[in-house]
Chains A and B, each alone.
Chain A
Amino acid sequence: MPPNRTFDLERKTKAYFVFGAAMYLFFYRLISSSMLAQMDHPLFLYGQTETVYRLFLMSGIPQFITSNAVFSALCDISLLVFTIGFLLSDRRIFAVLFSIMVLNYFLTYNLVTGHHYHGMAGLLIISIPFWFKDKERFNLLWQGARYYLFYVFVSAALWKIFRGSVFYTDQLSNILKAQHVTLLLQNGDIFRAHLAQYLIAHPGVSHIVLMVNVLLQLSFAIGFFTRKYDIPLLILAIVFTWANFFVMSIISAELLILTLALLDWDKVIDYLIRKEVITD
């Protein structure tokens, strides 16, 4: 007998997807030697420019974490423990603690690299709805995560328009010159290097690529007004991620976790029930 379609079932299914994807992201970071315990006690923490980073540094927490092998390992392991704890017990405290540890990782990683990388923000945002069990509040915050995804893309487009960089013919060509020096020096024979070299040598073509990119990012604005195009927008987000990899050599897949908010969850749950993945 198929299980009853309840809010709890939907919330739990979403939790498995979100926290499952989170574990995949952290596993990828583990094999990328970039979890806290793998940072090898970095000498410098670069956080002089932003208030929150400065306050975090003043607290002494990141210094303590990065210099203490046992504690940094505990922080890493806690991400898995809180995930399992939340999925098995459905106690909100685990979701809150998970978000706090993701925030801690996010800030510490950015302090160690000195490059304020934004990818993990998606995971932080989409973990927040799970702090609540109230149906309406959960759904509103889930919608909030969906709007945040649209904000990310639309903001990227608007900045390029307002700063005028989208109208500057050499913009992408100049960015690629700075971005791909090492790739072109070390691996000039691979497809991505050929593509970069072509775009650098042909600023007119790279300008068209930039304009298409801005149009793609701007198209996410439609999501603020209707849910009708969520699946095409999901596909566009994946296309953007692939294109970003081939043109810029940037893997922005971590932000893709927000696209879970674009799925039609009625259909997802129907499918999982039909396939007997979800049973009583």
Chain B
Amino acid sequence: MELIKNTWFGQLYANSKWLFALVCIYGLGILYYAAHQREEFPFLLYGMYSLKVGPSPTYTAYSIELGEQEIKYIKLRDAQREMIGSNLEHAMPMIEDGTMSADEQAAFKKWLMNYCNDMRISGDNKMNVYKLTCYYDETGKVHVLKKELVLTYATE
């Protein structure tokens, strides 16, 4: 009994019953969602790339050109890459399967261009987004199999 009292949980229980209850609920929530292999904020599971990833014949990347200049992703900070990359990954399937209206597409392209320009990547008024379908050879080198123009936007 004394041993339990000396643990962090025991001390928390002695200090504050409601804090102890909150921590227990949080812990049980994590266990519940872990058992269901589903993440629900705030019960974060921190898998850190634990899902099995099988081989794929091709991989997709997006290349953005502002004016004549291609955005180099390496020059972007993590959060910028996330803002651009994740938004493209979400929006492109909607554009391709026709679930994004023409107005929404125009607004999305405008947002993407404004965001890129606001990062002072470029002050250009023309943007092209290409979808690159790539594959790897046995030396680990990547090659472009197909390059398609998927978005284009220009302002006055």
| Chain A interface (Cβ < 8 Å from any Cβ of B) | 28-29, 31-34, 38-44, 46, 50-53, 107, 109, 112-118, 121, 134, 136-137, 140-141, 143-144, 147, 151-153, 155-156, 159-160, 163-165, 168, 170-171, 174-175, 177-178, 180-188, 190, 196-202, 217, 248, 250-251
Give the distance in Å from the alpha carbon of A107 to the alpha carbon of B41 in the complex: 9
Contacting A at CB under 8 A, from B32-46, are 39-42, 44-46
Question: A16 → chain B, closest Cβ, in Å?
Answer: 25
| Chain B CB within 10 A, most for which of A34, A171, A183 | A34
Tell which of A31, A41, A175, A251 touches B49, judged by Cβ atoms closer than 8 Å: A175
Bound-complex Cα distance A144 to B91 (A): 39
Interface size class of B (residues with CB under 8 A): 35 or more
Q: Would you list 12 pairs from A and B whose C-beta atoms are within 8 A, ordered by A residue?
A: A32-B77, A32-B78, A118-B46, A151-B46, A160-B47, A160-B49, A171-B53, A174-B56, A178-B53, A182-B61, A182-B63, A197-B141
Q: Which of A143, A147, A151, A181 contacts B142 (CB 8 A)?
A: A181
**Cβ–Cβ < 8 Å partners of A114 in chain B:** 86-87, 89-90
Q: Does B129 contact A (CB under 8 A)?
A: no
Closest to A134 in B: B15
Give CA–CA (A147, B74) in the complex, Å: 34
Chain B residues close to A by CB (< 8 Å): 8, 11-12, 15-16, 19, 23, 39-42, 44-56, 59-63, 70, 72-74, 77-80, 82-83, 86-87, 89-91, 104, 107-108, 111, 114-115, 118-119, 132, 134, 136, 138-142, 144
User: For residue B119, which residue of chain A has the nearest CB?
Assistant: A33
B60 to chain A, nearest CB (A): 7
Judged by DSSP, the binding face of B is mixed
CA distance A28 to B107 in the complex (A): 28
Q: Which of B46, B70, B136 has the most CB of A within 10 A?
A: B46
Residues in A with CB closer than 8 Å to B91 are 44
Set B42, B82, B140: member contacting A52, Cβ < 8 A: B42
- With A33-B115, A43-B108 given, is the CB distance from A197 to B90 under 8 Å? no
> Are B90 and A178 in touch, CB under 8 angstroms?
no
CA distance A93 to B90 in the complex (A): 38
Cα of A118 to Cα of B43 in the assembled complex, Å? 11
A126: min CB distance to chain B, Å: 14
Among A141, A159, A163, A248, which residue has the most Cβ atoms of chain B within 10 A? Answer: A159
Known A-B contacts A32-B79, A113-B83, A190-B74; A159 and B59 likewise in contact (beta carbons under 8 Å): no
Residues of A within 8 A of B44 (CB): 118, 121
Residue on A nearest B77 in the bound complex, by CB = A32
B8's partner among A28, A40, A144 (CB-CB below 8 A) is A144
